[in-house]
Amino acid sequence: MAAPETPCLTDLPLPQLTELLQGMGQPAYRAKQVYRWIHQKLATDFSQMTDQPAALLVRLRAETSLAVPEVVRRQQSRDGTVKYLLRMADGNCVETVRMHYRYGYSVCVSTQVGCAMGCRFCASTQAGRVRDLTAGEIAAEVYTVQRELWQGDAAARVSHVVLMGIGEPLHNYDNVLRFLRILSGPEGLNIGMRNVSLSTCGLVPQIDRLSREDLQLTLSVSLHAPDDATRSAMMPVNDAFPLSALIPACRRYQAATGRRISFEYAMVRGVNDTPEMAEKLAKLLKGMGAHVNLIPVNPVDGSPYTASDAANVQRFAARLRALSLNATVRRRLGADISAACGQLRREEAAPRTNTRQERITP
Ligand code: SAH
């Protein structure tokens, strides 16, 4: 394993890679070639970079590394969804999910090892946050899936990426933004931002910051409740950023970007699934042209919540529509392999390196 100070080339945007290679006496065009080997041809080893001088490859192998996670477990669902448990170079594991849609393959990536947000229904946060993933590690999740697809079919392509795995993407803001730029760059996989969705539990300052980045991605906000009492009981982040701060931030985001936000709403029996809740929700989001995604909460160990039954989810959706709110019930892919993130990692042994576990309330 590479020493901690060894630069991971997967994590470097092209200007930084160019600087590093120039420091090794290489011309700029070499950096572009190496960058393409990493982010377009998805090389897993320097020996694959066959158009590069042997001496350079020796040096790169000695002084740098590539992010190539190990697939520790792979579970395939009857509907074609595949869930991977990936081990990063330091021994920490995260989950990545591949979903197959009519239009192509979508990859759901983790952005942190664990999560500090403490949502009571979520398996990913139960032991707090261990560390952030680097941009290169997040990219390597996508690359692992893409390489596997190529093995079966050279034309198969990851076309969409969703940041809905383990972690709170906006709590790892800089690395996530760097990842998005690598992912969408013309020298990389060139996945358009319109095919990227980022989901947040509602960190208001970061939502404002994101609105100024000029990205065409889709922002999803995990709302889950239409009043502060219910939301705070489900999501501690609501104490820091209550609905009176979050909803205006969402309106500002829409005004600044011209992009509609979609809201996630996990339906919990007897908690947020009553007709009164539907009415409050419609009132809260009035005039935003918002889209609400309803999903029965996925029961996880140690969580007090049970899912609303399917008929009630449909009734709730119909009620929202009658109140002019655009609502859909999300199709559950991979239910038979518990594809909702966080559960596989929890089953796995503790990480090898003893990194500090923490939980922060923002
Ligand atoms: N931290 C981000 C993204 C990761 S979670 C966020 O909070 O949005 C992705 C989505 O799954 C979020 O909407 C989250 O609230 C939801 N989720 C987490 N655990 C769930 C569960 N047990 N059942 C249903 N949805 C869940």
Ligand 1 atom closest to residue 300's alpha carbon, by position in its atom list: 22
Average pLDDT over residues 92-104: 93
Which residue, by CA, sits nearest to atom 15 of ligand 1? 222
Q: Where are the domains of the chain?
A: 9-63, 70-349
Q: What is the pLDDT of residue 300?
A: 86
Does residue 119 have a pLDDT over 70? yes
Q: What is the pLDDT of residue 330?
A: 83
> Cα(59)–Cα(62) distance, rounded to whole angstroms?
5
Does residue 335 have a pLDDT over 70? no
- Cβ(340) to ligand 1 under 6 A? yes
Residues that are catalytic: 95, 341
Ligand 1 atom closest to residue 221's alpha carbon, by position in its atom list: 8
Q: How far is CA 7 from CA 31, 39, 55, in A?
A: 14, 16, 18
**Ligand 1 centroid from CA 164, angstroms:** 7
- Cβ(112) to ligand 1 under 6 A? no
**pTM, to two decimals:** 0.93
First to last CA, the chain: 34
Domain 9-63: CATH architecture, name and number where available: Orthogonal Bundle (1.10)
The candidate with the shortest Cα–Cα distance to 275, out of 207, 323, 340, is 323
- Cβ(198) to ligand 1 under 6 A? no
Q: What is the pLDDT of residue 355?
A: 35
Identify whether the C-beta of residue 64 lies closer than 8 Å to the C-beta of residue 9: yes
- Among 163, 171, 206, 264, the mutation site with the greatest number of ligand 1 atoms within 8 A of its Cβ is 264
Ligand 1 atom closest to residue 171's alpha carbon, by position in its atom list: 1
Which residue, by CA, sits nearest to atom 10 of ligand 1? 164
> Cα(218)–Cα(148) distance, rounded to whole angstroms?
26
The candidate with the shortest Cα–Cα distance to 160, out of 97, 84, 206, is 97
Q: What is the pLDDT of residue 79?
A: 87
Provide, rounded to the nearest whole percent, the portion of the chain with pLDDT above 90: 85
Q: What is the pLDDT of residue 347?
A: 65
**Ligand 1 centroid from CA 21, angstroms:** 40
What the block records as the tokens of 238 is 């609501």
Identify whether the C-beta of residue 137 lies closer than 8 Å to the C-beta of residue 67: yes
Taking all residues of the chain, what is their mean pLDDT, rounded to a whole number?
92
CATH 3.20.20.70 fits 70-349, yes or no: yes
Which residue, by CA, sits nearest to atom 17 of ligand 1? 122
- Cβ(197) to ligand 1 under 6 A? no
Q: Which residues contact 1 (CB under 8 A, 6 or more apart)?
A: 89, 90
- Among 99, 141, 199, the mutation site with the greatest number of ligand 1 atoms within 8 A of its Cβ is 199
What the block records as the tokens of 81 is 């969804």
Confidence of residue 331 (pLDDT cuts 50, 70, 90): confident
Q: Three-class SS of residue 165?
A: coil
DSSP string over 45-112: SGGG-TTS-HHHHHHHHHH-B----EEEEEEE-TTS-EEEEEE-TTS-EEEEEEEEETTEEEEE---E
**Ligand 1 centroid from CA 96, angstroms:** 14
Average pLDDT over residues 252-273: 97
Average pLDDT over residues 44-64: 97
Average pLDDT over residues 210-231: 97
